[in-house]
């Protein structure tokens, strides 16, 4: 039985009683991020389970992560960790009264190098898969919970027009967080003419990882794997908004466009999708990201 207010043991007890791997033999810390701590649990069967614990956070962040991973997992394409449970620590006997947790499949990341071209193909197949969410299947864009992009909120909800969604809940929201009048003015100009970049392009909702950079990409037994998402249903091309720090190769893009052909205007829209993440990084960290925002907005608004 878990000791009073001992979340690490409480999670181990849940694993032992709720999964078919036997009781937990030991747990090990994998370190921590800015807001959560990570652990592995080794069970009697030899199977490992992965968990995160966050103190001082409500369950919203882990709920967004869990539902997002489930949405990608349902496409049966890339290797995605399976979610076992998430919630408030207060729900677990002995878990304490503050904080939240998420428990998922432990994946041996880095095992067997995955082909870049196959990664591109599998990501495209994930984008091409029929959405498991009924709202997205009906043509709506967004997600049924808000989540986060880095340390900032990422508002979702549902809208029936992609350009309106991206203008209001992506670019517009990030600009509302900015304190710089020049960026706001340039951003408003771009948003006013945003439809121009989507003329003749059919946009269908697809499940997006939403924060796809090198730190969230790995391999498992030679299969490409992704994790730590900021999932929503949107335009497939929006997935490349973090390509500036993802290291996608020519083989990757060849594999991707083999399944999802490149649409006219792809490169310009890629800059728009990068701008969202530049703005987010500027709002979080400042520094050189300001100049990335300024130069990208200058290029996109030239001639408008």
CA distance 170 to 231: 13
**DSSP string for residues in 82-122:** PEEEEEEGGGSTT--SS-EEEEEE---TTBSPPPHHHHHHH
145 lies in some domain: yes
Identify the domain boundary among 82, 105, 128: 105
Burial per residue of 17-49, b for 16 or more beta-carbon CB atoms within 10 angstroms, e otherwise: eebebeebeebeeeeeeeebbebebbbeeeeeb
Same domain, 275 and 180: yes
**CATH code, domain with 72:** 3.30.200.20
212/242 same-domain check: yes
Q: What is the pLDDT of residues 60-101, one digit of tens each?
A: 889 999 999 999 999 999 999 999 999 999 999 999 988 999
Domain annotation covers residue 281: yes
Q: Give the lowest-confidence range in 32-46, 182-196, 271-285.
A: 32-46
Full residue range of the structural domain in which residue 129 is found: 116-301
Q: Are residues 61 and 127 in the same domain?
A: no
| pTM beyond 0.85, yes or no | yes
pLDDT digits (tens, 9 = 90+) for 155-182: 999 999 999 999 999 999 999 999 999 9
Task: Report yes or no on 1 lying in a domain.
Answer: no
Question: Are 165 and 231 contained in the same domain?
Answer: yes
> Residues 295, 151: one domain?
yes
CATH number of 260's domain: 3.90.1200.10
Q: Is 303 exposed, middle or buried (0-12, 13-18, 19+ CB in 10 A)?
A: exposed
| Residue 279 belongs to a domain | yes
| DSSP per-residue codes, 205-238 | -EEE-S--SGGGEEEETTEEEE-S---EEE-GGG
Which residues are known catalytic residues?
211
Residues 214, 215, 216, 221, CA torsion sign:
positive
- For the chain, what is the domain count? 2
């Amino acid at each position: 039985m878990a000791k009073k207010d001992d979340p690490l043991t409480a999670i181990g007890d849940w694993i032992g009683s709720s999964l078919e791997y036997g009781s937990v033999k030991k747990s090990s810390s994998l370190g921590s991020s800015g807001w959560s701590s990570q652990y592995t649990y080794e069970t009697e069967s030899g199977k490992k389970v992965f968990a995160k614990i966050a103190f001082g956070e409500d369950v919203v962040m882990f709920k967004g992560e869990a539902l997002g991973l489930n949405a990608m997992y349902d496409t049966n394409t890339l290797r995605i960790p399976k979610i076992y449970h998430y919630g408030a620590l207060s729900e677990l006997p002995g878990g304490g009264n503050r904080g939240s947790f998420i428990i998922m499949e432990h994946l041996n990341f880095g095992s067997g190098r995955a082909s870049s071209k196959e990664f591109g193909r599998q990501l495209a197949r994930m984008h091409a898969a029929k959405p498991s969410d009924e709202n997205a299947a009906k043509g709506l864009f967004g997600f049924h919970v808000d989540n986060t992009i880095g340390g900032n909120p990422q508002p979702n909800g549902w809208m029936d027009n992609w350009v309106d969604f991206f203008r209001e809940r992506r670019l517009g929201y990030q600009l509302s967080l900015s304190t710089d009048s020049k960026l706001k003015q340039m951003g408003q100009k771009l948003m006013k003419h945003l439809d121009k970049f989507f003329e003749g392009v059919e946009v269908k909702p697809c499940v997006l990882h939403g924060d796809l950079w090198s730190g969230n990409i790995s391999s498992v037994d030679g299969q490409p794997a992704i994790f730590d998402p900021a999932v929503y249903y949107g335009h497939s091309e929006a997935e490349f908004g973090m390509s500036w720090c993802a290291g996608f190769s020519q083989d990757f893009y060849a594999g991707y466009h083999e399944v999802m052909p490149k649409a006219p205007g792809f490169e310009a829209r890629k800059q728009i999708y990068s701008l969202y993440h530049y703005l987010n990084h500027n709002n979080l960290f400042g520094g050189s990201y300001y100049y990335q925002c300024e130069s990208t907005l200058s290029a996109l608004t030239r001639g408008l």
